[in-house]
A = this chain, B = another copy of it.
């Protein structure tokens, strides 16, 4: 049954208006002599010196988080989060496979969008960074000491987990708002009965203040809109959380047209303190769900996955004073709160203007019940009476606003490809600079806190085209760094980015540099298959499973000759790296393994499995160039027929 037919003309008009208007052939800014000289000096980090800021860029469809230095734009690490990462064995090793478990089974990928650094008193504290998996809804917590993913929690009743993973001023909660509304609970129903029946869950996940462990505190079950981005209140607005919405039309098909009909959508304001209190007093409903909670233990170097079966949902209409809707023009994408917490900025992506709501006016309107109707029982505040101001930008397609410490705001415009600087309070435009091309989000280190560092701005662009030497049809995305220390912004440099960065968080190098972990201590290694010294190396058979307790130290494996393995055996290499020096990993690869290598850091134990399929003598070797005799770091496994009586034996140096 074929049922495709729609208004082709309508699509084309929308398309023509919105695609890549800003795509000019060449760059400007910085390419004339004098300016370029200055810009070169500003981004150059001489050998032996270090960058001023860390930038954590989401990898988007890479599933990972990337770490850059500013102002150089150099990528220092790709941290595997939601995707298998053959480089280190993440998602392949026995220890890390549980990290990617979900209610849908093992999921080797996700779309990581929005990192946010933990805070204390509204300032970055540099303990953890949180990030969302957009596709199979999940939130991850990454240590900013080890730069490894420590925890992933799945979000039930959610789909397209986009308005995530943003945190409150003391990291009380990390939020996860659904982009796509779905039946809650899931059930078999016609898609075109969406309106009024699908729901949008806004999930508040509590964070243990000591360990950082996450637990779903409650889900606010909202109307079936699309929840896009979010920001916590701060200062006077502490205790609230704000979520932008689009598709308040509740359309379910040809969304580019059908969800762009309403002149205004909403920013949803959630008083999470009131919801918290309501739930503490027994409010809400405990409903049956099924979601994974995956936890990596640095001491055992291993992850576990636990399925959880209950979650508390709350109906926002049952909690007086907890939830309101602020009308906001033109499908708002960005939803940003200034450093003082006084202003909530909605960037209507189909608009030319930026809408600024006043938190003070919002609370007055709530007190005065100054409502302009309701949506599914949730009061809609009077637009004019909560409005602080409108930035008449002169641009098109505002997406996201960040701030400096001098009372200025910076908004990216996708369609007109530019960053516009404007002043909080006067709403006057101060400066504008082009981006190359079609900027999405931007980042100022310290953003989403009370204390942004107003020195650099990074624009994350969606179109690359001619910015770099061509690499075939598929290219990296591109970022640009601007000096914003003066009144006028100065474009300094273009740098390519890995995956598709949608968002970023940044902080001063000082916040993290000294607490970065260098090695794992061997005496703290509680891995069940760890050995404390090469003298404990051994091989044990358990039926058709063979466990090799293996040691690496420059430049040999202990043992390096193993016999008595038989066809059909499942051989576990449990490799403990006995180095205790910084930056001396060893890796191990075994010919024909149906998995990746593992890269084992000093003091760590990791496991790969190899299936013995064919008789013969098969080599393994170290994959990390560890010393001048690295090439000699190898060994052999002899595989005999399944019915052989070759005795299990192992040795080194015999």
Q: Which of A81-89, A277-285, A445-453 contacts B (4 or more CB under 8 A)?
A: A81-89
A86 x B84 contact (CB < 8 A): yes
**A29 contacts across to B, CB distance below 8 A:** 47
A592 x B136 contact (CB < 8 A): yes
Q: Which of B43, B496, B602, B647 contacts A75 (CB 8 A)?
A: B496
B595 x A109 contact (CB < 8 A): yes
Q: List residues of A (15-56) whose CB comes within 8 Å of B's CBs.
A: 15, 18-20, 26-31, 36-37, 39-41, 43-51, 54
In whole Å, how far is A180's beta carbon from the nearest beta carbon of chain B? 4
Q: Which of B46, B104, B473 contacts A517 (CB 8 A)?
A: B473
**A604 contacts across to B, CB distance below 8 A:** 473
Q: Is A148 an interface residue (CB 8 A)?
A: yes
Q: Which of B27, B46, B189, B538 contacts A638 (CB 8 A)?
A: B189
**A601 contacts across to B, CB distance below 8 A:** 473-474
Q: How many A residues touch B, CB cutoff 8 Å?
A: 206
B111 x A615 contact (CB < 8 A): no
B92 x A109 contact (CB < 8 A): yes
B475 x A77 contact (CB < 8 A): yes
**A590 contacts across to B, CB distance below 8 A:** 135
Q: Which of A309-317, A418-426, A555-563 contacts B (4 or more CB under 8 A)?
A: A555-563
A414 x B628 contact (CB < 8 A): yes
Q: Which of B252, B493, B516 contacts A561 (CB 8 A)?
A: B252
Q: Is A631 an interface residue (CB 8 A)?
A: yes
Q: Is A1 an interface residue (CB 8 A)?
A: yes
Q: List residues of A (635-654) whose CB comes within 8 Å of B's CBs.
A: 635-636, 638-641, 644, 646-654
Q: List residues of A (205-255) whose CB comes within 8 Å of B's CBs.
A: 226, 228, 246-247, 252-255
A597's closest neighbor in chain B, by CB? B61
In whole Å, how far is A333's beta carbon from the nearest beta carbon of chain B? 7
Bound-state CA distance A281–B439 (Å) is: 64
Q: Mark A579-595, 1 if CB is under 8 A from B, else 0.
A: 00011010101111111
Q: Is A107 an interface residue (CB 8 A)?
A: yes
Bound-state CA distance A61–B5 (Å) is: 50
**A597 contacts across to B, CB distance below 8 A:** 61, 109, 111, 135
**A471 contacts across to B, CB distance below 8 A:** 67, 76-77, 79, 147, 516
Given A349-B628, A616-B188, A623-B111, do A654 and B40 touch, yes or no (CB 8 Å)?
no
Q: Is A544 an interface residue (CB 8 A)?
A: no
Q: Which of B474, B534, B623 contacts A88 (CB 8 A)?
A: B474
A596 x B109 contact (CB < 8 A): yes
Q: Which of B190, B469, B640, B649 contacts A3 (CB 8 A)?
A: B649
Q: Which of A6-14, A114-122, A318-326 contacts B (4 or more CB under 8 A)?
A: A6-14
Q: Which of B44, B160, B624 contacts A44 (CB 8 A)?
A: B44
Q: Which of B108, B192, B257 contacts A596 (CB 8 A)?
A: B108
A641's closest neighbor in chain B, by CB? B188
Bound-state CA distance A45–B476 (Å) is: 17
B74 x A583 contact (CB < 8 A): no
Bound-state CA distance A246–B537 (Å) is: 28
A621 x B180 contact (CB < 8 A): yes
Bound-state CA distance A190–B554 (Å) is: 26
**A587 contacts across to B, CB distance below 8 A:** 61
**A192 contacts across to B, CB distance below 8 A:** 561, 654
Q: Is A498 an interface residue (CB 8 A)?
A: yes
A594 x B554 contact (CB < 8 A): no
A585 x B474 contact (CB < 8 A): yes
Bound-state CA distance A632–B512 (Å) is: 38
A566's closest neighbor in chain B, by CB? B188
**A159 contacts across to B, CB distance below 8 A:** 591, 618-619
Given A76-B496, A180-B619, do A633 and B255 touch, yes or no (CB 8 Å)?
yes
Q: Is A350 an interface residue (CB 8 A)?
A: yes
**A160 contacts across to B, CB distance below 8 A:** 591, 619, 621, 634
Given A48-B27, A102-B592, A436-B47, do A253 and B76 touch, yes or no (CB 8 Å)?
no
B36 x A44 contact (CB < 8 A): yes
**A187 contacts across to B, CB distance below 8 A:** 615-616
Q: Which of B146, B468, B516, B625 contacts A440 (CB 8 A)?
A: B625
**A626 contacts across to B, CB distance below 8 A:** 462
A648 x B1 contact (CB < 8 A): yes
Given A3-B650, A76-B468, A86-B108, do A615 and B186 touch, yes or no (CB 8 Å)?
yes
Bound-state CA distance A60–B476 (Å) is: 20
Bound-state CA distance A555–B626 (Å) is: 49
Bound-state CA distance A526–B177 (Å) is: 41
Q: List residues of A (549-583) whose CB comes within 8 Å of B's CBs.
A: 554-556, 558-561, 563, 582-583
B653 x A257 contact (CB < 8 A): yes
Q: Is A286 an interface residue (CB 8 A)?
A: no
* CB pairs A–B below 8 angstroms (12 shown): A4-B535, A11-B556, A104-B593, A111-B589, A135-B623, A188-B616, A188-B640, A198-B617, A260-B629, A469-B513, A473-B518, A473-B604
- Which 8 pairs between the two chains have the least Cβ-Cβ distance? A27-B48, A6-B653, A186-B616, A104-B592, A40-B44, A147-B472, A470-B516, A109-B596
